[in-house]
């Protein structure tokens, strides 16, 4: 049935199903096109009468996934220009004081949206949490360094969404003083950056970082090089006037082509630090919006008053290598080259990883190395920077896809966290018959953290306590200590 309520912008009509009220496509800023292209997010727009909020809002322009990634991840496109929107689920719009969960989607800063089916917030609302999922500008629109435009516009969008939550969530029964911001992959990297940003201070009490931490930003010179290359490809100047005059479709196509070019050229060293993360459109250190490397800011005390839940999956990088068939062509010499590029003693590392994975193929060793470099070690370092003040987890359950070789890959935990294993989109990454018991356990831990500040196990302090979520979940002290120590002077 329909349900209506008032917020500062006007009256909203949502829908109530099985006791959960949902409101979709609520604009938290005006459409960032035309005169507002590359501008900071505006104040929330208002309207007369009743605005329908029963259909998902427009998604931001994005490059889209290609096979085989597109076979695994759902990437809906909702047409329209009002892409700076959010969705809200609440168990009691007439209530008050409910904890709030705000989800920032992943997608390497060039893909993703709040329309992805497995980001359905109904299960959180069912369990007493007001759930919010947000869109933000992607790719060059959100993150390119453009002369005449504010830096890191995608992050400014996220801050604007959190300010909207602060100012409006009480109308949905939520408590603006009990906000948890959460995200996975680029979403978690965003959360790590928000923790370090002066503009985001005070907008959230807790933070959840899934497969992302405080290392994933680039320098301004690298961002300048990327935007210059993009402008050259388009035959325009690298400023608001030049890039802003390019039609959206052509602009997105050029970003895709530039990403392909960087992938091919990165091993030559011409793109510098991008060889280590392959994300040309991501937050950059501008000295203002992003004052410094987020990890450095966090180590200096930024975000010290925020409760943290952080973790990774066991075999993150299998997501990027197994479906593409890369692992079968990896030999130990290739693993040595990667380790050397990271600055690790390759022979000592191979000894440590061989002891950890005695039956692993070279491709599986590379998955472990890349998982550690890109995901596990940044998470560990963020926690260490806070003197162990965080709850740490690892997701160990293995997908049944690709004859089980996909393993506990990147993004696999999301349908368990949202308790949406019954959705067909979940099976695209889990495979058949994922364990509902594990979803019950993991979702409950997230709800408890959002509601009470503790997911149900001890903090990573004097002992390196890690909750391992798997077929048989357990608490482990300092898992894989040898490989963690291997990176101590490097990552």
What is the pLDDT at residue 161? 98
Those residues whose C-beta lies under 8 Å from the C-beta of residue 342, and which sit 6 or more positions away, are 276, 369, 373, 490, 491
What is the pLDDT at residue 23? 98
Phi-psi domain of 75 (left: phi exceeds 0; alpha: psi -120 through 50; beta: other): beta
pLDDT, one tens digit per residue, over 416-441 is: 999 999 999 999 999 999 999 999 99
pLDDT, one tens digit per residue, over 386-416 is: 988 999 999 999 999 999 999 999 999 999 9
Q: Is the pLDDT of residue 475 over 90?
A: yes
- Alpha-carbon span 65 to 71, nearest angstrom: 9
What is the pLDDT at residue 267? 87
- Alpha-carbon span 351 to 341, nearest angstrom: 17
Q: Are 413 and 312 in contact (CB under 8 A)?
A: no
Q: Is the pLDDT of residue 461 over 90?
A: no
Three-class SS state of 265:
helix
Q: How does strand 465-469 pair with strand 474-477?
A: antiparallel
What is the pLDDT at residue 1? 86
Banded model confidence at residue 462, pLDDT cuts 50, 70, 90: confident
- Over residues 64-73, mean pLDDT: 96
DSSP 269-296: TTTGGGGGT--SSS-B--SSSS-S-HHH
What is the pLDDT at residue 354? 93
pLDDT, one tens digit per residue, over 144-156 is: 999 999 999 999 9
Query: Rounded to whole angstroms, what are the CA distances from 205 to 27, 304, 308?
Result: 24, 10, 9
pLDDT, one tens digit per residue, over 160-185 is: 999 999 999 999 999 999 999 999 99
- Alpha-carbon span 454 to 291, nearest angstrom: 30
DSSP 337-399: HHHHHHT--HHHHHHHHHHHSTT--HHHHHHHHHHIIIIIHHHHHHHHHTTT-SEEEEE-PPB
Q: Which residues are catalytically annotated?
A: 185, 316, 410
Q: How does strand 391-395 pair with strand 465-469?
A: parallel
- Alpha-carbon span 424 to 35, nearest angstrom: 40
R_g (Cα) of the chain, nearest Å: 22
Q: pTM of whole model > 0.85?
A: yes
**CB contact burial 447-478 (16+ within 10 A = b; e otherwise):** bebbbeeebeeebbeeebbbbbbbeebeeeee
What is the pLDDT at residue 466? 98
- Over residues 241-253, mean pLDDT: 96
Q: Is the pLDDT of residue 367 over 90?
A: yes
Query: Rounded to whole angstroms, what are the CA distances from 133 to 9, 56, 138, 182?
Result: 18, 11, 15, 10
What is the pLDDT at residue 480? 94
- Over residues 318-347, mean pLDDT: 94
Banded model confidence at residue 310, pLDDT cuts 50, 70, 90: very high
To the nearest whole number, what is the mean pLDDT of the chain? Answer: 97
Query: Rounded to whole angstroms, what are the CA distances from 385 to 141, 298, 389?
Result: 32, 7, 9
In 3D space, the residue among 72, 138, 71, 76 whose CA is nearest the CA of residue 110 turns out to be: 138
Q: Are 115 and 59 in contact (CB under 8 A)?
A: yes
Q: Is the pLDDT of residue 278 over 90?
A: no
Bridge partners, 21 (sequence order): 16, 90
Residue ranges of domains in the chain, CATH in brackets: 2-219+282-307 (3.40.50.1820), 220-276 (no CATH), 314-486 (3.40.50.1820)
Those residues whose C-beta lies under 8 Å from the C-beta of residue 2, and which sit 6 or more positions away, are 13, 14, 15, 16, 54
- Alpha-carbon span 303 to 295, nearest angstrom: 11
């Amino acid at each position: 049935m329909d349900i209506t309520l008032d917020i500062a912008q006007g009256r909203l009509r949502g829908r109530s199903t099985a006791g959960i009220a949902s409101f979709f496509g609520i604009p938290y800023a005006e459409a960032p096109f035309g005169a507002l292209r590359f501008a900071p997010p505006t104040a929330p727009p208002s309207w007369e009468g009743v605005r329908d909020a029963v259909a998902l809002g427009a998604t931001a322009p994005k490059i889209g996934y290609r096979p085989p990634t597109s076979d695994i991840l759902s990437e809906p496109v909702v047409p329209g220009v009002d892409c700076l929107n959010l969705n809200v689920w609440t168990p009691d719009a007439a209530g008050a004081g409910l904890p709030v969960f705000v989800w920032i989607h992943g997608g390497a800063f060039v893909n993703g949206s709040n329309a992805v089916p497995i980001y359905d917030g109904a299960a959180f609302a069912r369990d007493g949490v007001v759930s919010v999922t947000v869109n933000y500008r992607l790719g060059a629109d959100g993150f390119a360094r453009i002369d005449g435009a504010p830096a890191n516009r995608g992050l400014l969008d996220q801050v604007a969404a959190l300010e909207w939550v602060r100012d409006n969530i009480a109308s949905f029964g939520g408590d603006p003083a009990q906000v948890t911001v959460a995200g996975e992959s680029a979403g978690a990297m965003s959360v790590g950056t928000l923790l370090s940003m002066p503009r985001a201070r005070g907008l959230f009490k807790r933070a959840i970082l899934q497969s992302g931490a405080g290392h994933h930003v680039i320098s301004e010179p690298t961002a300048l090089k990327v935007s210059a290359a993009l402008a050259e490809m388009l035959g325009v100047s690298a400023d608001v006037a030049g890039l802003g005059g390019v039609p959206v479709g052509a602009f997105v196509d050029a970003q895709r082509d530039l990403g392909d070019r960087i992938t091919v050229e990165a091993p030559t060293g011409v793109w510098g630090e991008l060889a280590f993360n392959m994300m040309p459109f991501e937050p950059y250190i501008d000295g203002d919006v992003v004052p410094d490397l987020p990890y450095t800011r966090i180590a200096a005390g930024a975000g010290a008053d925020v409760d943290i839940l952080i973790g990774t999956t066991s075999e993150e990088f299998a997501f990027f290598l197994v479906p593409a068939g890369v692992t079968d062509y990896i030999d130990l010499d290739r693993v040595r080259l990667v380790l050397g590029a990271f600055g690790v003693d390759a022979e000592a590392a191979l000894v440590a990883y061989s002891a950890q994975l005695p039956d692993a193929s070279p491709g599986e060793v590379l998955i472990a190395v890349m998982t550690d470099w890109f995901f596990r070690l940044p998470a560990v370092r963020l926690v260490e920077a806070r003197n162990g003040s965080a709850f740490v987890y690892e997701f160990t359950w293995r997908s049944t896809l690709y004859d089980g070789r996909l393993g506990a890959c990147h993004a696999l935990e999301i349908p368990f966290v949202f308790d949406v294993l019954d959705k067909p989109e979940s099976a695209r990454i889990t495979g058949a018959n994922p364990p509902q018991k594990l979803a019950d356990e993991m979702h409950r831990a997230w709800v408890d953290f959002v509601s009470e500040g503790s997911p149900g196990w001890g903090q990573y302090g004097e002992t390196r306590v890690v909750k391992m979520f798997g077929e048989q979940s357990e608490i482990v002290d300092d898992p894989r200590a040898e490989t963690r120590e291997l990176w101590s002077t490097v990552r």
